[in-house]
């Protein structure tokens, strides 16, 4: 029995919604609308969102294609005398290097916008996609097709929470996103750094994680300590009523002929006392001498 040719969950669901124009190949399992087209008749799409293809991964795929052929059909659309690739550029490249005369395809009747949506979703279902590429792909789907997170999740076959958490990584500073993309920093580290309010602190912590090879858990403890609010001021109660303090200050002002500030002693919640104070203002040396005399102190004897 022929092996079932499969597609990603998101692509499979989308294809069910679109018009398939190829005549079903009777040799295909379950009569799927898969046909074969000469490899040379398929041209790359200018809409292809992916530009970089890993050379080593392409070599491995080419070796697999030589031995097993193309196990997953390419998605194409007809353009005059040739077919334009929608999804499956790595497979097409591998088929060309392996000198396959023809490849299995599904021909879709779609416009430019739908073609780009298929290409984005196919890219998002690759196993070798790094987390920042994945986040960028989700953002493109949201912005170009006005898709909500649950709609994106349904199309790519992932949980909505996964899509939401991945998209949040795009809020990190560029230097931190680069560390995640290149590998020194994990997506888990990035999610912890999102709870840090200041971008400069995010960057410094990211550098520390790389420098000290900190685990996600270790970073969580650092951030938890960083975000921990300062100790609340101790509860305290003034020992003298405010009205009395004001009255006393006024009486002392009249007595000394200058401003006098009275601060009451205070009692803390644990019963301990905080000292009070009396501050007498003076404005020059003569004024100081006058205040001292009122207090019964002879400045010349000091």
pLDDT tens-digit map of 10-62? 555 555 555 445 444 433 333 347 889 999 899 887 766 555 566 777 788 88
Q: Under a CB-based contact definition with an 8 Å cutoff, are residues 100 and 65 in contact?
A: yes
- Which residues neighbour 263 within 8 Å (Cβ) at sequence distance 6 or greater? 245, 276, 277, 278, 279
Distance CA 112, CA 120 (A): 12
Does the pLDDT at position 220 exceed 90? yes
Long-range CB contacts for residues 162-166, cutoff 8 Å, separation at least 24: 163/138, 165/191, 166/131, 166/134, 166/135, 166/138
Write down the pLDDT at residue 230.
64
Architecture of domain 9-129: Alpha-Beta Complex (3.90)
pLDDT tens-digit map of 172-209? 999 999 999 888 999 999 999 999 988 989 999 999 99
What tokens were used for 33? 């609308």
**Residues with catalytic roles:** 89
Distance CA 263, CA 277 (A): 5
pLDDT tens-digit map of 143-166? 888 889 998 888 888 899 999 999
Distance CA 196, CA 63 (A): 46
Q: Whole-model pTM above 0.75?
A: no
For the chain, the domains span 9-129, 172-230, 236-301
Write down the pLDDT at residue 23.
41
pLDDT tens-digit map of 254-281? 898 888 888 999 888 777 888 999 999 8
Q: In terms of Cα–Cα distance, which of 141, 34, 142, 139 is closest to 88? A: 34
Positive or negative: CA dihedral 48, 54, 56, 57: negative
DSSP 182-242: HSSS-HHHHHHHTT-S-HHHHHHHHHHHHHHT--HHHHHHHHHHHHSPPPPPPPEEESS-H
Instruction: State the alpha helices, DSSP H only, in 231-284.
Output: 242-256
Distance CA 66, CA 75 (A): 20
pLDDT tens-digit map of 55-100? 777 788 888 888 888 888 988 988 877 898 888 888 888 888 889 9
What tokens were used for 219? 């970073």
Strands 260-263 and 102-107: unpaired
């Amino acid at each position: 029995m022929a092996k079932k040719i499969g597609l990603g969950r998101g692509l499979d669901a989308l294809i069910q919604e679109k018009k398939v124009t190829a005549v079903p190949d009777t040799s295909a399992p379950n009569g799927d609308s898969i046909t074969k087209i000469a490899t040379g008749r398929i041209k790359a799409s200018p809409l292809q969102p992916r530009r970089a293809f890993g050379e080593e991964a392409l070599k491995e795929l080419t070796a697999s294609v030589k031995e097993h052929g193309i196990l997953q059909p390419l998605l194409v659309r007809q353009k005059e005398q040739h077919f334009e690739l929608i999804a499956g550029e790595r497979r097409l490249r591998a088929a060309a290097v392996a000198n396959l005369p023809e490849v299995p395809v599904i021909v879709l009747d779609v416009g430019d916008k739908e073609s780009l949506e298929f290409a984005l979703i196919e890219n998002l279902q690759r196993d070798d996609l790094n987390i920042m590429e994945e986040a960028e792909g989700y953002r493109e789907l949201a912005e170009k097709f006005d898709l909500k997170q649950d709609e994106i999740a349904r199309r790519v076959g992932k949980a909505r929470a996964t899509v939401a958490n991945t998209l949040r990584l795009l809020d990190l500073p560029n230097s931190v996103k680069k560390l995640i993309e290149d590998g020194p920093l994990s997506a888990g580290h990035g999610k912890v750094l999102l709870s840090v309010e200041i971008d400069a602190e995010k960057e410094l912590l990211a550098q520390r994680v790389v420098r000290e090879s900190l685990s996600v858990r270790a970073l969580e403890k650092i951030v938890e300590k960083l975000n921990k609010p300062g100790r609340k001021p101790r509860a305290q109660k003034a020992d003298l009523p405010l009205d009395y303090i004001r009255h006393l200050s006024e009486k002392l002002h009249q007595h000394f002929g200058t401003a006098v500030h009275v601060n009451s002693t205070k009692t803390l919640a644990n019963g301990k006392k905080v000292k009070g104070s009396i501050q007498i203002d003076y404005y020059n040396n003569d004024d100081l001498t006058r205040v001292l005399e009122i207090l019964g102190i002879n400045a010349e004897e000091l």
